Amino acid sequence: MERQILHVDVNNAFLSWLAVYKLQNGEEIDIREQVSVIGGDETKRSGIVLAKSTKAKQFGIITGETLYSARQKCKNLQVYHGNFKIYKEYSNKLYNLLLQYTDKIERFSIDECFLDMTDYLMKDTLLNKAKEINAKVKKELGFTVNVGVANNKLLAKMASDFTKPDKVHTLFKEEIQTKMWKLPISELFMIGKKTVPKLYNMKIKTIGDLANYDKQILVKKFGKHGKLMWEYANGIDNSEVKYLEEKPKSIGNSITLPMDINDIQQLEEVLLALTQQVTNRLRKQELLANVINVQLRTKNFENFSHQAKLDSPTSSTKEILNKAKFLLNEMYEEGMFIRLIGIKIDNLISRNEMQISLFDNTENSKKQEKLDKTMDLINEKYGYNFITRAGTLNSDKIVRIVNKDAK
């Protein structure tokens, strides 16, 4: 099975994060709309441009130049000092939001993450998830990201660097020639400034030139790096997403349906499939949920969301599903056509923090827990459509249609 990889890259992170922080703390001016830069101390060597707004870029101001030089280009330039504490805060907010989608996240830098979505798509497409993350970050966190969509880390990284800001780009194997090979060789990941002139002397000016060059000659001239450059130019990368086992603060999943549905029973069946996947992640993390949220989006893009507190912290698929179905029925009105349905469980606590009540330790609870664990093992091995609970056959048919165009 091909990997399903996303690369999320914050647009102009340092300036954007400072702008959002200021707006959220009462300031009325969005510094992203000014001719502004993030810079160091102008009296020291650190007085250089670290980040710039779009309007500053229009004046020809570039990252890395001195603030003195930047001021010559625009007398009204607004200079703001960097604040690592703020950057760390918003980087963590982004990371926690992404944990709602997958447990496998590699923090590549303070403003970049790789996501391995291979086991977390629930028959939705990777592109749909990328668009959802792009929109959710903007709505909930207040800044924008580019999202690269591919089957390996290299191509996802390259895709996220295409036109900016606030974009979602794909770069699958069949798109390498048309989207990547025409780019200047300097655009290829891991090609340093000192290497570019050497490649130019070999008449290698584009990524396509490098991809079609004799690999053995490259190895002879550059050693192992020559082999790596050639592989990258051809979109070859087998590296895995290196993730840390961090406990998520919430877990969720949603699916854009292949057709608008106005049948509550079919919606309940799709909700069950989503609940199985979400509670499986909950149990793998040894966590219990306190709050559940169900989301609906109509064919007219109207959004509805209801949440409720569970009677007690639980990881039981049955208990969480019952509450989710209640919320669904509470929101749904006859005649509504639904295009997206989602579920999120929140206020998570460690199982070790919760002393299970003697009243919960019944024979039925033990049987339910055993059933959940058995289904987790089977679904992880064969996929979430291999075995289903009663009443999910129709939803599997619905969800399977979504997958036919999945990359």
- Positions annotated as catalytic residues are 112
Residues forming a β-bridge with 114 = 7, 106
Residues forming a β-bridge with 250 = none
Nearest alpha-carbon partner for 297 in 338, 265, 254: 338
Q: What are phi and psi of 262, to 5 degrees?
A: -125, 30
State the first-to-last Cα distance of the chain, in angstroms, to the nearest integer: 11
In sequence order, which residues have a C-beta less than 8 Å from that of residue 101 and are 6 or more positions away? 115, 117, 120, 129, 133, 252, 253
In sequence order, which residues have a C-beta less than 8 Å from that of residue 237 and are 6 or more positions away? 152, 153, 154, 155, 231
User: What's the CA angle centered on 401, arms 398 and 407, to 5 degrees?
Assistant: 135
The answer to whether 35 and 77 are in contact (CB under 8 A) is: yes
Nearest alpha-carbon partner for 257 in 109, 124, 144: 124
Tokens of 65: 């130049």
Q: How far apart are CA 4 and CA 197, in angstroms?
A: 35
Q: How far apart are CA 198 and CA 204, in angstroms?
A: 9
Tokens of 16: 């954007």
